[in-house]
Amino acid sequence: MNTNKETCVGIIFGGASGEHDVSIKSANTVSNCFKKGKSLKNFHLTCIYIDPRGRWWPNEVARKALRKGHRLLESELPKQHNKKGFYEFPQDVSGIDIWFPLLHGPNGEDGSIQGLLQLIGKPFIGSGVLGSALGMDKIAMKNSFAALGLPQVTYQAAESNQITDPELLKNLIEQLEEKIGYPCFIKPANLGSSVGISKAHFKSEMKSGLELACKYDNRIIIEKNIIGRELECGILGKTHIKTSVIGEVMHNSEWYDYETKYSSEEIKVLIPAPIPETISREISNLSLKACKALSINSIARVDFFYVPAKNELLINEINTMPGFTNKSMYPMLWEASGLNLEELVAELLKTATE
């Protein structure tokens, strides 16, 4: 990277996704790092905002969204831009040297933006098309884990047509009751931040949970409930991937839902997690193995379940663009590993040029 002149970094945030507002929070955190100097003194920042309709807006509009801290209403956007979806880059992006897609969920974390950036030949932070797509789709991810022989929770996939057809839904629920049982978790295959996820304890909740998930995605995954500790590991790097210390998330709610993640004060984070050194090493090794096999690099958070009574460790999922909010585990894991937020962003920018 040329440090003799300012390198322009372009943050993309928002997006046509259910995680639009979380993305704005992440972008706010990262953009504030560029105001502090030192590690990022040779970088200039410009911002691109993608509204919920998928339209791309330039730096001036993007900064407005960051100041407000939430999505811009239609009345707050310039009038002349009426088309839906992406059809051209805003005019002030030609000078961007490195792209930082801080997009969570579909249309941003799933390989679509990564493919676009790859086409224009500019370096970007995060995994490429393949790793992003595999990391986004929980069914494809878990099928890959199964092929690798990685220990994981019992799961079953379903499609929306099985849920919208009453007879197929009845058959599906019978299959799930036999294979998965209660309680179980029902999730859209391509969404994060606990959006669209529910926990079912009996048949009526199973039915309503499937119908809820179906509103967010055509592909649904149902997982067996595991009573265990929730452990997380950060990865950083491309040519040489390293792992963070291991963290543990503890909460008083029945499960780690959206409200708990981003609104509740009832979360306790333990970093480093009080676990045996052998388990910590195994988590690091499994994280590297899973990420390398799925072509995931640069930035990711790998989540696990640990059942001490059985000394059992299960990989849950990989998040290829973890949150950067003030409650997000990824930056906290690296803070405990010796990188403050500003230094972490600087290290991530280096991965884009490897």
Q: Model confidence over 278-288: pLDDT tens digits? A: 999 999 999 99
Amino acid found at 131: G
Instruction: Give residue 226's Cα distance to chain centre.
Output: 21
Cα torsion 261, 133, 10, 93: sign: negative
**What is the pLDDT at residue 107?**
87
CATH code reported for the domain at 136-150+227-352: 3.30.470.20
**What is the pLDDT at residue 253?**
57
Selection from 349, 346, 353, 351 nearest residue 40 by Cα: 346
Instruction: Give residue 14's Cα distance to chain centre.
Output: 13
- Rounded distance between C-alpha atoms, residue 349 and residue 38, angstroms: 14
Angle between helices 203-214 and 166-179 (to 10 degrees): 120
CATH code reported for the domain at 7-124: 3.40.50.20
Output the CA angle 264-221-84, nearest 5 degrees. Answer: 75
pTM for the predicted model, two decimal places:
0.89
**What is the pLDDT at residue 263?**
53
**What is the pLDDT at residue 254?**
59
Dihedrals phi, psi of 52, to nearest 5 degrees: -60, -15
Q: Is 28 helix (H, G, I), strand (E, B) or coil?
A: helix
**What is the pLDDT at residue 191?**
73
Low-confidence stretches of the chain (pLDDT beneath 70):
1-5, 37, 81, 192-194, 252-266
The tokens for 311 are 């000394």
**What is the pLDDT at residue 204?**
95
Selection from 210, 193, 207 nearest residue 317 by Cα: 193
Q: Which CATH architecture has domain 155-224?
A: 2-Layer Sandwich (3.30)
**What is the pLDDT at residue 85?**
84
- Rounded distance between C-alpha atoms, residue 186 and residue 204, angstroms: 13
**What is the pLDDT at residue 222?**
97
Burial 231-259 (b: 16+ CB within 10 A, else e): bbbbbbbbeebebbbbbbbebeeeebbbe
Residue whose entry in the numeric block shows the structure tokens 């999730």: 187
- Give the list of residues 6+ apart from residue 125 with CB closer than 8 angstroms, or none: 98, 99, 100, 101, 298, 299, 348, 349, 351, 352
**What is the pLDDT at residue 262?**
47
**What is the pLDDT at residue 1?**
43
CB 279 within 8 A of CB 126: no
Selection from 315, 344, 138 nearest residue 228 by Cα: 315
Q: What is the pLDDT of residues 299-325, one digit of tens each?
A: 999 999 999 999 999 999 999 999 998
Residue ranges covered by each domain of the chain? 7-124, 136-150+227-352, 155-224
**What is the pLDDT at residue 3?**
44
Preceding amide of 52 cis, omega within 30: no
* Percentages (nearest 5) of helix, strand, coil residues in the chain: 40, 25, 40
- Rounded distance between C-alpha atoms, residue 53 and residue 76, angstroms: 14
